Amino acid sequence: MSDKKQSDLKVEDSKAPLAGVGGLLIKNGRIITADADQLADIYIEGEIIKTIGKNLNVKADKEIDAAGKLVFPGGIDPHVHLEMPFMGAFSSDNYETGTRAALFGGTTMVIDFILQKQGNSLRSALEEWKSRSDNNCVGDYSFHMAVTDFNENTKKEIREMIEVEGITSFKTFMAYKGVFMIDDRQMIGLMNEVKKHGGLINVHATNGDMIDYLIDKHKAEGKLSPLYHYLSQPEITEAEASGRFTDMANYTGCPGYIVHLTCEGALNAVRNATRRNQKVFVETCIQYLILDASLYEKEDGAKWVMSPPLREKKDQATLWAGINQGLVNVVATDHCPFNWEKKLLGKDDFSKIPNGHPAIENRMELLYSEGVAKNKITLNKYVEVACTNPAKIFGMFPQKGTIAVGSDADIVIFDPKEKHTLSAKTHHMNVDYSGYEGWEVTGKVKTVLLRGKVAIENNHCNIDKGYGKFIKRKKVADKI
Ligand code: DUC
Ligand code: ZN
Ligand code: ZN
């Protein structure tokens, strides 16, 4: 263990006079941030971290002994879909069950997606989403705004979303034609407007026309099983769109963020773009790092039908390497659960299977177990991609995403040795299967604090819906 990197851990002198009274003290933990690793105590007053130091002299109301444990900033999952209307169903976790499950898994904040309806305003979409989320979240949350119809009216709403609502990132789809997809002309217009006001464009970067062609072809040939969902979205569809998106972002000078990047071809497109010193961030999701397309040949392959689909082992290797090269900046989930009954809507036709898979609760533990415990990434890198980079990229740092004096006391106490098994029988997500049933995991989230409150303790959630706060975000980071 290193004791020397301390750049964002401000550590007080242990012989200092009384550092606080009341409040909550976490003692003897091994505190990990994106760039530090330190044995120290954390003293919290109200919602905020007041002091960090060795052997703090504090008379606290409550003490938690974290000896032998890792202490991380609360996880931030910037890609979730809660209670989202999609493909004939609503995703099965609502704002209460989804944010609670997230907390059980060490994620204290999520960013969900509002979807504009084509022909309607961004404002009306925001109101619709607020009607489901207001006062219903257990954990903290924010929204990205998906622009599915960029026109003169939408254009006027961009500034207001950023300046007034604190919604600074705008999602675009290069696929799902007729529902969510915008064409390149709209993309360029939106990029210019978003850039002008200091925002960021998120993109689902796959070539919708190529995919629609392949779906129709497979269906005409009677190829209808979940395997053909995968075969309708080959790597080239993602590589092409990722390259086109980064070219358009470079041309307009707008910062970009590619969501759920899955494969070598797409990452190579970004690698090229970064040679132009362009600001383009990359997110992958936990499933693309650890699951592969062989699952589509199973009888229950619909469980893993998501877009983009799972890929090959060589793509997993590329993504792990991309994390270590600093090309992949974030590990999220694209949590979008549907109960098995809904997945069966596509039992005779893969194109009718609601796309999405549940992972909001599993991300932090799986990334630790498969990444850190198997020596693929360091502890600091783990915190960087799961907590700190999402906060920086989406304009919440250092309020969120780190353990530092003055930051929100969003903290995870983690036992790196405890082994357990993932199962739908024990998870807290509102979905009747697990994509990781029987998966043996090393490392367990034990205690979670959200803005100073002990939210999760002894496998119990102590806070109710309504505690979760909407976080207004600042303009996007210039660099991370
Ligand atoms: N992909 C999914 O799998 N689900 C929700 C939306 C998306 O793009
Ligand atoms: Zn997507
Ligand atoms: Zn998504």
What are the DSSP calls for 408-457, one per residue? B--EEEEEEEEEEE--TTT--SS-S--TTTT-EEEEEEEEEEETTEEEEE
* Mean pLDDT, residues 295-320: 98
The ligand whose atoms approach the alpha carbon of 307 most closely is: 1
The dihedral region occupied by 22, where left means phi > 0, alpha psi between -120 and 50, and beta the remainder, is left
Mean pLDDT of the chain: 95
What spacing in Å lies between the alpha carbon of 344 and ligand 2's midpoint?
A: 21
Residue 19 has pLDDT above 80, yes or no: no
* Structure token digits, residue 174: 């290069």
Query: What are 71-84's pLDDT values in tens digits?
Result: 999 999 999 999 99
Indicate the length of the chain as a whole number: 480
User: Residue 479: is its pLDDT beyond 70?
Assistant: no
**Which residue owns the Cα nearest ligand 1 atom 7?**
307
* Distance separating alpha carbons of residues 460 and 447, to the nearest angstrom: 9
* Banded model confidence at residue 10, pLDDT cuts 50, 70, 90: low
Q: How do 48-53 and 36-45 pair as beta strands?
A: antiparallel
355 Cβ closer than 6 Å to some ligand 1 atom: yes
Sheet holding 107-115, edge to edge: 75-80, 107-115, 140-146, 169-173, 200-204, 256-258, 280-285, 330-332
Q: What is the predicted pLDDT for the residue at 139?
A: 98
Other Cβ atoms closer than 10 A to 99: 31
Instruction: Out of 334, 342, 350, give the residue to mutate to test ligand 1, the one with the largest number of ligand atoms within 8 Å of its CB.
Output: 334
Does residue 97's CB lie within 6 angstroms of at least one atom of ligand 1?
no
Tell me the Cα Rg of the chain. Answer: 22
Report whether pLDDT(3) > 50.
Answer: no
Contact 367, 387 (CB under 8 A): no
Q: Which tokens hold the place of 287?
A: 């499933």
- By the 10 Å C-beta count (0-12 exposed, 13-18 middle, 19+ buried), 102 is classed as buried
Of the pLDDT bands very low, low, confident and very high (cuts 50, 70, 90), residue 16 is low
Smallest CA separation from ligand 1 atom 5, residue = 356
| Nearest residue (CA) to ligand 1, atom 1 | 307
Given this model, what pLDDT does residue 22 score? 82
Q: How far is the CA of 308 from the centre of ligand 3 (A)?
A: 9
Coil/strand/helix, residue 399: coil
Nearest CA-CA partner of 430 in 332, 345, 360, 354: 360
Please determine, for residue 406, whether its predicted confidence score (pLDDT) is greater than 60: yes
Output the CA 106–ligand 2 centroid distance in Å. Answer: 23
Paired sense of beta strands 256-258 and 36-45, if any: unpaired
End-to-end CA distance of the chain, in Å?
25
What pLDDT, on the 0 to 100 scale, is given for residue 4?
Answer: 36
Q: Is 226 helix (H, G, I), strand (E, B) or coil?
A: coil
Average of per-residue pLDDT across 240-266: 97
Q: Which residues contact 243 (CB under 8 A, 6 or more apart)?
A: 269, 272, 273
Q: Which residue has better confidence, 279 or 376?
A: 376
In order, the DSSP letters of 110-121 are EEEEEEPPTTS-
Would you say residue 15 has pLDDT above 90?
no
7 pLDDT band, cuts 50/70/90, is very low
Residue 117, CB-side half-sphere exposure with 13 Å CA sphere: 11
> Residue 446 — pLDDT band, cuts 50, 70, 90?
very high
Query: Residue type for 349, please?
Result: D
Tokens coding 182: 């915008």
> Does residue 112 line the site of ligand 1, with CB under 6 A?
no
**Calpha distance 465→138 (Å, rounded):** 4
pLDDT-based confidence at residue 477 (cuts at 50, 70, 90): low
Residue 81 beta carbon below 6 angstroms from any ligand 1 atom: yes
> Cα separation of 194 and 158, whole Å?
7
**Residue 106 and residue 414: Cα distance in Å, rounded?**
9
Q: Are 74 and 363 in contact (CB under 8 A)?
A: no
Rounded to two decimals, the pTM is 0.96
Instruction: State the distance from the centre of ligand 2 to the C-alpha of 79, rounded, in angstroms.
Output: 9
Q: Is 336 in the pocket of ligand 1 (CB under 6 A)?
A: yes
Residues with CB under 5 A from ligand 2 (ion): 204
State mean pLDDT over 111-135: 98
Task: From the CA of 175, give the closest atom in ligand 1.
Answer: 8
Q: What distance in angstroms lies between residue 385's CA and the mean position of ligand 3's atoms?
A: 18
